[in-house]
Structure 1
Amino acid sequence: MRQYLISFPSEAMDITDDELPAVADAAYAWVQEAAAAGVLLFTGGIDEDVAVVTVAGDGTVTDGASFPQSQDLNGGYAVIEVETRDEAVEWARKVAVACRCSQELRVFQDSPRVAELLPHLPR
């Protein structure tokens, strides 16, 4: 089994206020379906109203993002675990239809040593 990240930036969701309730219901239905299928490990969105904090390699804490490319890190995320890439693509397709916006799909690297320390996670 592999774990996949399904994500989209906030700007990708171009819907009207009138469409929002239907999109929210469809997205929640996707969450219910993925949870019932046993493939959903996590889902959520970045709270864009909370300031970013950077913790440096030496432990120093500063306000704001330190990587220029992370300034716009926002949107929604889901982590799923499935047998094949084709299954992951199908779950990403379903959430793209529900949210009415494109989704990006990435696979996490396997980490057997970490998995040994976290037996509560599905593997």
Structure 2
Amino acid sequence: MTRYLVAIHHPDDYDPSIAEDEAMSRDIDALNDEMVAAGIRIFVGGLHPAIRATSLTPQPDGAVLTSDGPYLQTTEHVGGFWVLEAADIDDALAWGRKAAIACRAPVEVRAFH
């Protein structure tokens, strides 16, 4: 079985206190319960907003530059993710579809090496 990252993407201005209502929380909890029951969930985690990230960038002289905020300057960032162990990409995509519906957000599915 292969492990897959199922990443939820949120806009930079995402505010869970506004965007996430009780119905959404129930849907995400139900999805987590379904993943556990299926025996495919390895890990799940939500992330703080990208603005609270710290980026570390190696420099040509061997130093490492530390800066506040995300490394990538985009309008969306990963807001949370699951690591699943699925039979194949089709199985992982099926779980990704459920995640997109439960989280009401775009989802990216990628296999680990």
**Which TM-score bucket, shorter chain as reference?**
0.7 to 0.9
**CA 1:71–1:51 in structure 2 vs 1: closer, same or farther (change >3 Å)?**
farther
SS at match of 2:52: coil
Higher strand share: 2
Taking structure 2 as the reference length, what is the TM-score of the superposition?
A: 0.73
Corresponding position: 1:84 with 2:85: no
5+ residue gaps, structure 1, are 110-123
Establish whether residue 103 from structure 1 lines up as the match of residue 104 from structure 2: no
Please give the TM-score of this superposition, normalised by the length of structure 1: 0.68
Aligned-partner residue type, residue 24 of structure 2 = V
Query: Are 1:21 and 2:22 matched, yes or no?
Result: yes
Flag the 1:68–1:96 CA change in 2: closer, same or farther, 3 A: closer
State the match for 1:116 in structure 2. none
Could you tell me whether the CA contact under 8 Å between 1:46 and 1:76 is conserved in 2?
yes
The question of 1:4 aligning with 2:4 is answered yes
Quote the offset at 1:44 in angstroms.
1.5
Unpaired runs of 5+ residues, structure 2, are none
**Residue-by-residue CA offset, 1:68-116 (whole Å, 9 max, x unaligned):** 347853412111011111111111111122122331111111xxxxxxx
Task: Give the number of aligned pairs.
Answer: 108
Change (3 A) 1:40 1:7: same
Report the counterpart of residue 48 of structure 1 in structure 2: 49
* CA-atom RMSD in angstroms: 3.2
SS of corresponding position for 1:43? strand
Supply the distance in 2 between the matched residues of 1:37 and 1:77 (Cα, whole angstroms).
Answer: 17
Q: CA deviation at 1:55?
A: 3.8
